[in-house]
Chains A and B, each alone.
Chain A
Amino acid sequence: MQSKTNILSLPVEEFVHPGTRACSGCGLAIAYRVGLKALGKDTILIVPPSCLTVLQGLFPVASTKLPCLNVTFASTAAAATGIIASLKTQSKEHITVAAWAGDGGTADIGLQALSGAAERGDNFIYFCYDNEGYMNTGAQRSGTTPIGALTANTPFKGKLQQKKDVPAIMAAHNLSYVAACSAAYPLDLYDKIKNCLHLPGTKYFHIHIPCPPGWGYDTRYGIKIGRLAVESGYYDLYEIVEGRIRLTAASEKLMEKRKLVPVREYFRAQSRFRILSDEQIADIQKQIDKKWEGYYKQVE
């Protein structure tokens, strides 16, 4: 990591107008605001239908000050390819192309186009903001909904399957940069964007996004819950540069402290996990401990 931005050194210029249509307490509003600061003015955005479509407002009003192409659900990354190709023919390759899609738009319906663009090595940054479900349509399960979460279409038993590991799938495309971030650590997100802007080909960002209505918590606790996910070692902040993974920010600190917050605290703070039994939580805790023992061993 080349720089550590703090709240005072963060650029003052805003690219998201205040008063967006995001829900109160929305994690995306934080990540998007800070993410666009890092991307800067010379950027063209691509957005498929998602919470972000709502956040950006209804025609003819827009809350984003950057040019944005709204595209169909499955076509985000292919649309990025089209803009890149067009800019190339106009010798405007200094413009950054950035796609922002939700987890359903990435892990499920958009995965083919994303894999295609990554395989072609098209030069853009793809952001998956992962609120772990189809929150814009009323909180149905997605490929990245974690096991045990109640959703609108896993109403009583919760999701029975594991969360799809999209950053690992993208890393398997041999990208120049893959990052896992969280809305609860916006400066980590900012630094990672800045650090990868000059890298070639497709860059992939996965951002954990606490979601008050979808996850079931009071709006003021979003940052706290996002941090609990990281501090418990349940969701890790990292970057993969040229195939090498490195933990960052709070996850990096956990390597030093070697003391994880019990994941139970993360689960019990959200109503979507209310059916998880103590045994299930203990089982997940074991998996987390095992994962972190692996991290410790790598260092040793």
Chain B
Amino acid sequence: MQIIENGNTAAALGVRLCRPQVIAAYPITPQTPVTERLSEFVEEGTLKAEYIPVESEHSAMAVCIAASSAGSRVFTATSANGLLYMHEQIQWAAGARLPIVMCVVNRAVGAPWNIWNDQQDSISQRDIGWIQIYCADHQQIIDTVIKAYWLAEKVSVPIMVCYDGYILSHTFMPFDLPQQKQVDTFLPPFRPEYALNPDEPANLNTVTLPDVRVDVRGELAHGYMEIRYLLQKDTRLALQEAAQAEKRFTEIFGRGGDPYIEPYLCDDAEYVAVGLGSITYQLRVCVDALRKEGIKVGVMGVRYYRPFPDKVIAEALKNKKAVIVFEKALSYGYEGALASDLKSALYEYLAGTGALPVIQNYIVGIGGREIHTADLTKALKAATRSKVSPEPVWIGLKL
């Protein structure tokens, strides 16, 4: 059924279809409408779940961690400083291998206070053992939430579904609302290997030594390093499982594609713009304009940021003259994190082959600075003409 709704409602509807049993949330703009809608669903009885209005984001994730450890499918959502306040907890969730799904409605972080959109919040949580998937429209938001539960529970790794604050969260678009029956076919009930239970007592997340240790039965148990290695291994494994999720999803829902990247006019392109989230759709307008000028340019959205689909990306960007990375976040003291990751992936697969493109990094839309399509087009065109700047170039800076 096609409906017209905002991005936060798309997320909430997707969550309801996945039948979570425990939801905990603390309000922060622009996330609030997601959790408000979920509280409405619970109170009106269209979602059978416990909704916990916690006193902080740290506690929101604590509730998710504990409820998931006790065997429930859980959900929370946050933005900006709320996500930063969870930092300790989200690392705990990853280490404890809990398949939590959380929407991150991307917003700039303080200081100074700023409630508008960029992606510094989720990008700053890149290295913690969560899968990060970025959405570019409302259909992707609702579909990604559903796929995220399947994947998280398959590999026991938590997932952030990231979408741009306001640009997606508060704008209205038509999208297909999946049927409950379809979702139930796609997503079986959550059955964890172990859930806290007095009949089968276990001490979870206890102090674990640097080296392996023998248990009471004489069997060798993992040390901390083995447990952390397996987190890395299974997060990488999620790349394969994501393809499986996409295949099943396409069979049941009749739509899908490449789960990792979203290329637009890239096949014959000499230059490819790359980004995360809604900006990649705005860049399509720039690409169309430049194509009319005869410049062979395309744009590629990166959907999976962690695990990073390095091989797929290298394959897609092989033999391009330049890759132009537009980012709404950066690793302060260096450059955009996506630009660095792209360089790393391209070097790994293409160094010495003669197929290695140069990379230009643009920083754009920080703290909600208006991103004018004309500016993007100009920057994209400039990158096809001039030498690459070793430092990231800030678009629209008024200094």
Classify chain A's interface size: 35 or more
- Answer whether residue A54 sits at the interface, using C-beta atoms and an 8 A cutoff: yes
A56 in contact with B206 (CB, 8 Å): yes
- Answer whether residue A43 sits at the interface, using C-beta atoms and an 8 A cutoff: yes
Interface string of A61-80 (1 = CB under 8 A from B): 11011111111101101111
Contact of A90 among B53, B55, B71 (CB under 8 A): B71
Interface string of B204-220 (1 = CB under 8 A from A): 11111100010110000
Q: Complex Cα distance A108/B74, Å?
A: 28
Q: List 22 A-B contacts (CB under 8 A).
A: A46-B66, A53-B207, A57-B206, A66-B201, A67-B200, A67-B204, A69-B69, A71-B65, A74-B88, A77-B59, A78-B55, A78-B56, A78-B58, A78-B60, A78-B66, A81-B59, A85-B24, A86-B71, A89-B22, A90-B71, A95-B198, A113-B59
A82 in contact with B64 (CB, 8 Å): yes
A85 in contact with B72 (CB, 8 Å): yes
> Which of A's residues lie within 8 Å of B, judged by CB?
41-44, 46, 53-54, 56-62, 64-72, 74-75, 77-83, 85-90, 95, 112-113, 115-116, 119-120
> Which of B's residues lie within 8 Å of A, judged by CB?
21-22, 24, 48-50, 52-56, 58-72, 74, 88-89, 92, 196-198, 200-209, 213, 215-216, 221
Q: Complex Cα distance A27/B62, Å?
A: 29
Most buried by A among B58, B71, B207: B207
Assess A69 versus B66: contact at CB under 8 Å? Given A60-B213, A116-B59.
yes
Q: Complex Cα distance A94/B209, Å?
A: 35
Q: Complex Cα distance A49/B88, Å?
A: 13
Nearest Cβ on chain B to A143's Cβ, whole angstroms = 19
Residue numbers in A under 8 Å from B204 (CB-CB): 67-70
A44 in contact with B70 (CB, 8 Å): yes
Q: Complex Cα distance A66/B202, Å?
A: 7
Assess A78 versus B21: contact at CB under 8 Å? Given A72-B88, A115-B55.
no
Assess A59 versus B213: contact at CB under 8 Å? Given A67-B200, A72-B62, A85-B50.
yes
Assess A60 versus B50: contact at CB under 8 Å? Given A44-B70, A71-B62, A79-B62.
no
A82 in contact with B63 (CB, 8 Å): yes
B66 in contact with A116 (CB, 8 Å): no
B69 in contact with A116 (CB, 8 Å): no
B198 in contact with A59 (CB, 8 Å): no
Q: Complex Cα distance A75/B207, Å?
A: 17
Q: Residue of B at shortest CB range from A119? A: B55
Q: Complex Cα distance A44/B54, Å?
A: 21
Contact of A72 among B56, B69, B89, B196 (CB under 8 A): B89
B24 in contact with A59 (CB, 8 Å): no
Q: Complex Cα distance A53/B204, Å?
A: 11
Q: Complex Cα distance A83/B62, Å?
A: 10
Q: Residue of A at shortest CB range from B223? A: A59
Q: What number of residue pairs across chains A and B have CB atoms under 8 A from each other?
A: 168
A72 in contact with B92 (CB, 8 Å): yes
Assess A85 versus B208: contact at CB under 8 Å? Given A41-B198, A62-B203, A79-B62.
no
Residue numbers in B under 8 Å from A75 (CB-CB): 58-59, 61-62, 65, 89
Residue numbers in A under 8 Å from B202 (CB-CB): 62, 67-68
Residue numbers in B under 8 Å from A54 (CB-CB): 207
Nearest Cβ on chain B to A5's Cβ, whole angstroms = 22
Q: Residue of A at shortest CB range from B59? A: A78
Residue numbers in A under 8 Å from B200 (CB-CB): 67
Residue numbers in B under 8 Å from A72 (CB-CB): 62, 88-89, 92
Most buried by B among A70, A75, A120: A75
Q: Complex Cα distance A58/B214, Å?
A: 11
Q: Complex Cα distance A67/B195, Å?
A: 9
Nearest Cβ on chain B to A37's Cβ, whole angstroms = 15
Q: Residue of B at shortest CB range from A63? A: B203
Q: Complex Cα distance A170/B202, Å?
A: 30
Nearest Cβ on chain A to B12's Cβ, whole angstroms = 19
Q: Residue of B at shortest CB range from A40? A: B198
Residue numbers in B under 8 Å from A58 (CB-CB): 206-209, 213
Residue numbers in A under 8 Å from B59 (CB-CB): 75, 77-78, 81, 112-113, 116
Nearest Cβ on chain A to B178's Cβ, whole angstroms = 23
Apart from A82-B67, A116-B54: 13 A-B pairs, beta carbons within 8 A: A44-B197, A57-B206, A58-B206, A58-B207, A60-B221, A67-B201, A71-B62, A82-B24, A85-B67, A88-B50, A89-B50, A112-B56, A116-B56
Residue numbers in A under 8 Å from B68 (CB-CB): 82, 86
Q: Complex Cα distance A57/B63, Å?
A: 25
Contact of A79 among B63, B71, B72, B206 (CB under 8 A): B63
A61 in contact with B55 (CB, 8 Å): no
Q: Complex Cα distance A61/B208, Å?
A: 10
Most buried by B among A43, A56, A113, A120: A113
A113 in contact with B58 (CB, 8 Å): yes
